[in-house]
Structures are given as C-alpha cells and as structure tokens.
Structure 1
Amino acid sequence: KMSRQTRPENPDLPTLEAWRPRTAPPAEQFIFERNPFFHRVDENGTQLPYVDRLVLNVSSPDLISAKTATGESDLQIGNLDFTDYTLLKSAEATYPINVMLWKRTLGSRVALIPNLNCGDEGWRTVLRDVRVRRAMSLAINRTEINKAVFYGLGQESANTVLPESTLFKPDYAKAYAGYDPAEANRLLDAAGLDKRDDEGTRLLPDGRPAQVVIESAGESTLETDVLELVTDYFREIGLGLFVRVSQRDIFRSRAIGGEVVMSVWYGLDNGVPTPEMSPAELAPSSDDQYQWPVWGMYYATVKTKGEPPDMPEVQYLVDRLAAWEMTTTEAERTAIWHEMLAHHADQVFTIGTVNGISQPVVRARQLRNMPEKALCGFQPTAFLGVYMPDTFWYEEGA
C-alpha cells in the first residue's frame, strides 16, 4: 500500500512520474503537482510536464457526461460513451470545449462472458460444452444491436482483433457471429438441453429451468441496452436471461468466488496487437478474466492460488502462451498468435457483439497538443498515455 508505484496512494513516496500526488485517499478530490525531478525534456531542453497541476474530482458515473457537457472538465475520457456524443457535441456551441472521436481498441464493446469456473456444477458442465457457447453466439442478432445501439457505425464481430491489427483475419470476426437461431436451437438440442417446461424454457440436465443470471457492474447504459435485446434473442432459443447489477469490486469478487454464471463486460482490451505483444489475454493469466478467473489466478499467483485448467481446450492456450514466451523470431510469434486467435474463434470462450466503436474525448478548447484522431483503450495506448500528456499545454486566451 505504501510503495506501489502504479497507484498514487502515498504522497510521500518518491516517483518518476510527471506529476506527484498531494492527496492521500480516501478523498473526493485528488490533486497532483508537477514533479520537479521529472526526467523528460522537450526538444528545446524545457523540462516537462508543461501543465503544473491536475485536479481530479470523484463523481457519480451517471453525472459525469452531464458535468462534462457543461464545461466542468478540461479533459475527459472516463465514463463517457458513444451514446453521449450528441449531448457533448451540442454543448460545443455553448461551452469552451472540443469533442473528438477516437476509436476504441476493444475486441468487443459489449461481450457476454460465460464463467467456466462457476460454482454451480449444473451450469458449469453446460457452459463447458462448446455447442452451448456457439449456440448462444449464433442466437444474437448483431446487425440489430449495431443499428439500435450504435447507429450502425460499429462492426458486427466476434470478440477478436480489429482490422487495424496485422493479425486480423475476417474468419476470426465471422466465427459463429452470424444470426442463425435455427442452428442455435439445433446445437442446444444436441448438447442435451432438448427438454422444455410449459413456458418453453429449456431444462438443464438436473431439471432446473435454463435461466441465465448475467452479472453487470452497472457502469454503462450501453450494456443495459444490449442486454435488453439479448434477453429477447435468448428467449427465442429457450433460454431465460436475468440481469443482476452490483458494484465492480463486489462483481469481481463474486466472479472469482464462482458465484457468477455469466457476466457482461468488454471484449479483448487490446484489439490492435502486433506479434511482438504478448497474447496473455488469450490464455488464463489473470484473476480478472471472467471466463476463467480461478485458472487465471493460478498463473497470476505463480501457481500458489487458484487451480490449474482441467479443460484440454484451455490448457492448449496455456501451452501456446508458454511457447510464445520462448520464441526468438517474428515468424514464430506470428504463427502462435494465429493459432491462439483461431482456437478462440472456434471455441467461443467469450461472445462478442460489436467492435470498432468511437469513444468521445472532450478537451478544453485551450488545451493543446492532443491528436484529433487516435486509438483509445487500456491496451496498447494506455488511454492517453501513448500521446504523452506531459506535453499537453494551455494556450492562454484561446
């Protein structure tokens, strides 16, 4: 807690970052001041950063878009979504802000993630059958989601890399991503879910109605809109869908504890990888991978917690990741990436919907040195990080 460089929790901790924290949590406002010992300079020898002080206010997620639209934020990405674009763009005429659209690097803006480690043995057995995962994917009408939620501006796709990546193949995006409820019904029948109750809901092998409780952190209205449509799609193939909302920390701990059957979240963080970037996201490597949190914890803790995978299809990914880490040539790395991406496309470990979505980025009109068009995501751009915020500056009187 006192020495984590990646979390600004201790104002007394020396740092190499451009700004140093002056506020200890918990607080409703966090202040960062320029680090007088920061090591970077511009081409003229002037020490960076240009901006002396950052003030970060904590606010309810529901209010952030409205507060940004009234000019209260000089720079905002977090908790803005594509659905806020019209409101923000209209505010440009009244307030001194500029609204830009950057492309999200996510493999899917909204993805359904079956938990292969869920504690419910009946559901765990069902979800580990690839026919069930494929059926759920084929039941989703991505064209309708794209038109209804994203105004037709997204790309209907499985959860995979984007066309901007050198590793992209159309087959990865199209795998089980077409709308085919008849085939979905056939696959579910073949998987042993061929019995139904009086209301038409399929029955699990143990006799319970096949009603999926999908967990959400409740941080995005887009997720809610998509899930409303998915509820109808699942009903067509005899599956019930109910949404449970909880705070992100609770949601995550419940997933690790096996209490979550399925969750809704983003797809791949890094949808624009190159062969030199690690494919760890495609294999169990972290406990925040909601499709296999227990297996992810096993490798994240160097095999001291969690459990090793007991599915050959998942162990294959672990082995390929280990092989990638031992490669010495780009050709080897590229081949392993394609093997893992093809395996993901075939096994449908996560169910993507639409990607290639634009992200509104709002800046004060006087804030300079930001690109008008860019990629935006946690990986590989670190949201703003790759665009060097230490070189942003204010133009007086703009």
Structure 2
Amino acid sequence: EPAGNQLPYIDSLAVQRVDSPEIMAAKASTGQVDFAGRQFMTADIPLFKRFEQNNDYSTYVWPRPYGSDVVLQFNLNHPDEGLRRIFQDVRFRRAMSLAINRDEINDIVYFGYGVPRQLTVVSASRYFEPEFATAWAEFDPARARALFDEMGLVDRDGDGRRERLDGKPLQITLEYMIGETPKQVTLDLVSAYWREVEVNVNLKQISGTLQRIRARAGLMDMTIWHADRNADILFPIEPYWYVPTNGGWEQSQWSKWTRWYFSDGALGWEPPAQIKELIGWWEILRRTTDEEERIAMGKKILRSQAENLWALGVIGLGPHPVVVSRKLRNVPPQGYWGWDSRWTWPYYPETWYLEE
C-alpha cells in the first residue's frame, strides 16, 4: 500500500451460487457475504439499509452508467408497412416520449435518486450536451395528443384507442425480458401513460431464447433493454443505440439497416440518406486520431438522436446497491456499477483486503 506496508493477503475466494435474486438479497442483508452487487435491484436498497448496522456491512449506492435503465425501441424496419410508416415518423416517437411522466417514475421506482432524461450518453461524457438529455423529455400529454392527431392517428370509432392510418386499430406489442434494472415496474407505468393518450401497448414478457431470435430477425413491434455503452469507454466504438451497427439480441430498431451495413449492401434494406450519414459520422469517429474531430462526430451522432429519437430514454444513472462487509477494506464508497466499467474493474479489487 502507499505507505509501504504489506497488506494482508486474501487466501481464497468463495463464490456462493443461489437460485434467485431474492435469496441473494436475503443472504446479503443478513451479513452472509463480504461483497455483492450483481443481480441486486434498486428496490433492494431499503432492505440493505435497514439491516446494515446489525449485520456489520455497509450499503454503497453507486449509479449505473446507463443512458437509460430502460431504452424503448420501435422497430423502424417493421415488416408491417402500416406500422413501419408510423414508427418511422418522428412525430410519433416524439409524442410517445412526451406522454411519459419521468418525474413520477423517478419518485415511485427510484426514490427520487435517478435522473429523468432522454436517451443519451452520461453527463460526465466529453460528448455530452445538456440539451441532449432534455430533448422531448418533458411530460406534456396534450402536446403528444396534438402530434398524434396531426399524423392522422385518431380515435375514429370512439373506443378510446387510436386507429392507424389504414384504419386498423393501432395495436403495439412490446416484447421484453427482465434483468439488472427495474424494467417491469417501469414498463407498467409507461404503458399506463400511453393508454392515457389513447395508444394501446401490450406488454409481453418472453424468454431469452425468443428475445434473441425475434429481435435479430426484426419481428418485434418493440423491445427494451438498458442503455449501456453510454460512457466514454464504449460509446465511441459501440454507439449501438444511435447508429445501426449492431445485430444483437437487445435491439429491435433497425435490424434490416444493420444487415445492409454488415453485408456491404448485399443483404437487408438500404437505409435512407439520414441513416447513411449517421454511419459515416461513426466511421470517422472510430478511426480518427484527431481528438476535436472525434468529439465533433460523436456530438453529431447524439444531436441526431436528440432530434430524431431513434430510441427513447426514461431514467438514467439509476442507483444500484453494493453490499460491502466492514471487514473488507479499500473498497471505495463511490463508484459506478455497470457493463461499461465491468462493474469492479476500475476499483482495483486486487488491493482489497480483509481486516480480521
């Protein structure tokens, strides 16, 4: 350590495997672990705080470095031409964003400690601008209704639901799987807000196998995941939420445009000029060695997201509990918990030690 003293060695590491996150939380809250954070949820924070004094551990609350804990994605390459036309209209995406009461979600789900925001990089990023996080993120259901009406998405038969431009009911299914962030409760609230503006979105939880198959094939109306890759570690090389360069299971926005990109135009659908421009900016961003040019390209990509809402954010930098035994030393009380930083890597766990 800095003073030249030999730190006590940790001779072995025992990993406990349990059957559910609930059992894991129970073990942590009763002092049965020295360190834990994976699979904990924001909702576990009161439990850990309540029992920490009697069980000789501390509860650190680290923000997740995610642009949004739930990123809402419309299938811009939908095989149904009617839905595709609606989803590709920026007015629809803006209206759906304006209909979400982010402040209420923050109070109900995050105890007021999250950040209501639009999908963009974290605020500490060199690519961040404040207007990126506030774009179309205010709660304004009247303005949302006006945008739907302007598009021609109106309730023609008086059943309380809007119809599509072709006269069919506007019915959207959001397929998703849960994990890591408070997805289910957030979706329950978001879908209720959308019903208030006469847009019916059915929630359908599916397995990981179906998620991988249906998202990659472009068969979903909508899906979600959490918006990782929004810190400077990964955003420049994997701006997947903003540029169609990922054919992964977590995305449903633009599988056909992504396939076109990966195949040099042999497969998928040729994207419009606006999307080609996004890809071009990213190609410069990932190759240039000029710092000013790199930042300029990154901000162009994010400004396009703020204007076009290629995907929607809800709450970012959500609080995450990390349980640390008071015997375990050198664990910093402040940090970030998430994929971008690989959870504990930046905090030098090789320097942690047990003080008996």
From 299, 307, 311, give the equivalent of 2:268.
307
Other-structure match for 1:114: 74
Alignment of 1:143-158 (within 5 A): 143-158=103-118
Paired with 1:75 and 1:270, the residues of 2 have a C-alpha distance of 25
> Paired residue for 2:315?
354
SS at match of 1:117: coil
Pairing partner for 1:386 from 337, 340, 346: 346
Displacement, 1:159? 0.7
Q: Is the Cα–Cα contact under 8 Å of residues 115 and 290 in structure 1 kept in the other structure?
A: yes
Report Cα offsets for 1:331-389 as digits up to 9, x if no partner. 1011101111100111101111111222111123322221110122211x111122222
Determine the structure 1 residue equivalent to 2:300. 339
Q: Which runs of 5+ in 1 are unaligned?
A: 1-40
Matching residue within 208, 226, 229 for 1:270: 229
Q: Identify if the C-alpha distance between structure 1 residues 169 and 257 changes in structure 2 by more than 3 Å, giving closer, same or farther.
A: same
Distance (Å, rounded) in 2 between the aligned partners of 1:271 and 1:221? 15
Going from structure 1 to structure 2, the CA distance change for 1:128 and 1:83 (only over 3 Å counts) comes to same
Contact 2:106/2:315, CA 8 A, preserved across alignment: yes
Q: TM-score if structure 2 supplies the norm length?
A: 0.89
Give deviations 1:128-164, integer Å, cap 9, x for gaps.
1111111100111112111222222222110112222
* CA distance in 1: counterparts of 2:170 and 2:308, whole angstroms: 21
CA pair 325-166 structure 1, distance change in 2 beyond 3 A: closer
- Tell me, yes or no, if the aligned pair for 1:69 and 1:87 is still in contact at 8 Å: yes
Deviation at 1:199, TM superposition (A): 1.2
TM-superposed CA distance for 1:119, in Å, is 3.3
Unaligned runs of 5+ in 2: none
Matched AA of 2:324: R
Whole-Å separation in 2 of the counterparts to 1:76 and 1:358: 15
1:199 pairs with 149, 159, 162, which one? 159
1:41-52 paired onto structure 2 within 5 Å: 50=10, 52=12
Question: 1:303 & 1:56 partners in 2: Cα distance?
Answer: 47
Change in CA separation of 1:224 and 1:44 when aligned onto 2, cut-off 3 Å = same
- 1:43-82 matches, cutoff 5 A: 50=10, 52-82=12-42
1:363 paired residue number: 324
What is the letter of the counterpart of residue 91 of structure 1?
F
Deviation string 1:212-255 (CA, Å, 9 cap, x unpaired) is: 21122133682222222222211222101211111233223221
Question: Per-residue deviation at 1:325?
Answer: 2.6
Cα separation, 1, equivalents of 2:348 and 2:62: 16
Over aligned residues, Cα RMSD in angstroms? 2.9
**What is the SS of the residue equivalent to 1:264?**
strand
- 1:260/1:275 CA distance change after superposition, 3 Å: closer
Q: Which residue number corresponds to residue 245 of structure 2?
A: 285
- Corresponding position: 1:330 with 2:291: yes
Within 2, Cα distance between the matches of 1:125 and 1:80?
39
Q: Whole-Å Cα distance in 2 between the matches of residues 48 and 145 of structure 1? A: 45
Question: Residues 323, 212 of structure 1: CA spacing in aligned structure 2 closer, same or farther, 3 A cutoff?
Answer: same
Q: Which deviates the most, 74-83 or 135-144?
A: 74-83
Q: Secondary structure at the match of 1:376?
A: coil
Secondary structure of the residue aligned to 1:100 is strand
Q: Which amino acid aligns with 1:343?
A: S
State, as a whole percentage, how many aligned pairs show the same letter.
Answer: 32
Aligned residues of 2:109 and 2:182 also touching (Cα < 8 A): yes
1:43-95 per-position Cα deviation (integer Å, ceiling 9, x unaligned): 97999995533425152234332332233433222211221101011121332
How far does the alpha carbon of each residue in 1:27-57 deviate from its partner, in whole angstroms, 9 at most, with x for none? xxxxxxxxxxxxxx99979999955334251
- Identify if the C-alpha distance between structure 1 residues 330 and 137 changes in structure 2 by more than 3 Å, giving closer, same or farther: same
Among 161, 168, 176, which residue is 1:208 paired with?
168
The match for 1:83 is 43
Aligned equivalent of 1:16? none
**Structure 1 residues 234, 276: CA separation in 2 closer, same or farther (over 3 Å shift)?**
closer
Q: State the AA in 2 paired with 1:322.
A: E
Which residue identity lines up with residue 196 of structure 1 in the other structure? R
SS of corresponding position for 1:212: strand
Higher RCO, Cα 8 Å, sep 6+: 2
